[in-house]
Amino acid sequence: MENKLSYISLFSSAGVGCYGFSLENFDCVATCELIERRLDVQKCNNKCSSESGYILGDLTKKEIKNRVLEEVKNWLKNNKKKDIDVLISTPPCQGMSIANHKKNDELNRNSLVIESINLVKQIKPKYFIFENVKAFLTTSCTDIDKKIKTIKESIDVNLSGKYNILYNVVNFKDFGVPSSRNRTLVLGVRKDLKDITPYDILPDNERVKNLREVIGHLPALKGMGEIYSKDIYHNFRIYNKRMLNWIKDLKEGQSAFENSNPTKIPHKLVDGKIINNTNKNGDKYCRCYWDKIAPCVHTRNDILASQSTIHPKDNRVFSIRELMIMMSVPESFKWSDIPKKELNKMSKEEKIEYLAKNEINIRQSLGEAVPTLIFQKIAKKIKAISSNKKLSDKQIVLLIKEKSLDNKNNLISFINENVKKNFLLQNCPRYAS
């Protein structure tokens, strides 16, 4: 455990995002989640090294915050460490809406981020990560001093004295996640970590694949209720059969509201009359494109009436496995303590029963998650920085002579080569100076 890196996860849902830290062998000191069925998924993935690290409850309650702090205290003592490495916070975002149109309960919900700010101030991790919706930074909240501020102002006022902070509104597809997801990513690096900036832990850009490239290898599912024999999570979710007529003739990118036949437009019958459903979003009952980047995965990915949920070819919403791939969740992630082989050996009736019990929780968890790849990339960068040895001034002088780094071209080539390797990152500015 001597070189074990640590992290804390707040508002962690099913742990889909911070599974990326687990993949890089970080030790989860404490994970806090309000919904028990989400926390149960984390336990299936053996997220925490200690059973007491799984904390179920409301983080605004003093006893829950104290439990987090107690886990930190015990972990540091048992592992003879001075610091927690990373604190991750992804507070619920349902209350994030345009400023000046808030209700009191929305302000309170948005103020959950203040609980995270408070814990950063108390725990003093080397790094912190806040992730949320695009409007996160401009959303109002009630700060520690009880004054209403934007979330960005609150973070600045409370944390910028001790941390260098990067505020970024990004699309995770630019970092290699195979679906579009516009989000806010806030990265903080403690100022006493010399020559390390938030840019050093920002994920690198990567070419994203289109939908055909990422899920095109999966077998087609034609029959309603069909479950692929080799993968219980590749399933055709059942819907009302009358809706099949609305979507079966759709071309890629076309919505059922564009059908010319009135009986094929989404509707309901009232006293024998057709009353068309309201088309609030142009992407409802819409078939996705094979050769474009996958759409954003939302929490209501289980219904045709949600945003861009229909498979490019099959007449169904995306399967759980397809959604996992779109959210960069590896097959090693477990939704149950039942081994995958046993799940796939179940009878058809047993599989139906299992999915009836678990599918909605899985789909909602995916819709509210951070793509696993994002946190894995950040974890890799932090791990690389932590494993690098900082050179003395004397060692750097010797290296400059050995590599002829007083030559500008040699210096640029040397820095580029070592940045690609994530090697001695914190020394690079010193070579240049």
How many CB atoms are closer than 10 A to CB 300? Answer: 14
| Lowest-confidence region among 138-147, 264-273, 369-378, 416-425 | 416-425
Write down the CATH superfamily of domain 6-207+370-387: Vaccinia Virus protein VP39 (3.40.50.150)
Distances (CA, A) of 182 to 40, 169, 240: 28, 7, 32
Domain boundaries, the chain: 6-207+370-387, 211-367, 393-432
pTM listed for this prediction: 0.88
pLDDT at 99 > cutoff 70: no
Helix axes 36-44, 348-367, angle to 10 degrees: 110
pLDDT at 299 > cutoff 70: yes
pLDDT at 387 > cutoff 90: no
> Cα–Cα distance between 195 and 429 in angstroms, integer?
7
Average pLDDT of the residues in 395-407 = 79
* Structure tokens, 233: 């999570």
Pick the CATH number of 211-367 from 1.10.3470, 3.90.120, 1.20.120, 1.10.10: 3.90.120
* Structure tokens, 120: 């950063």
pLDDT class of 283 with cuts at 50, 70, 90: confident
| Three-class DSSP category at 51 | helix
pLDDT class of 57 with cuts at 50, 70, 90: very high
pLDDT class of 95 with cuts at 50, 70, 90: low
pLDDT at 245 > cutoff 80: yes
The helix (H) or strand (E) run that includes residue 94 is none
Do 259 and 357 form a contact (C-beta atoms < 8 A)? no
pLDDT at 97: 38
| Lowest-confidence region among 109-113, 158-162, 177-181, 238-242 | 109-113
Do 96 and 136 form a contact (C-beta atoms < 8 A)? yes
Distances (CA, A) of 136 to 94, 182, 256, 407: 11, 11, 33, 45
pLDDT at 102: 44
pLDDT at 105 > cutoff 80: no
pLDDT class of 1 with cuts at 50, 70, 90: very low
Do 123 and 8 form a contact (C-beta atoms < 8 A)? yes
- Encode 344-353: b = buried (16+ Cβ within 10 Å), e = exposed: eeeeeeebee
307 or 425: whose pLDDT is higher?
307
User: Taking all residues of the chain, what is their mean pLDDT, rounded to a whole number?
Assistant: 90
Residue partners of 361: CB distance under 8 A and separation at least 6: 14, 37, 38, 41
pLDDT digits (tens, 9 = 90+) for 335-362: 999 999 999 999 999 999 999 999 999 9
pLDDT at 391 > cutoff 90: no
CA dihedral of residues 158, 161, 164, 165 (deg, nearest 10): 20
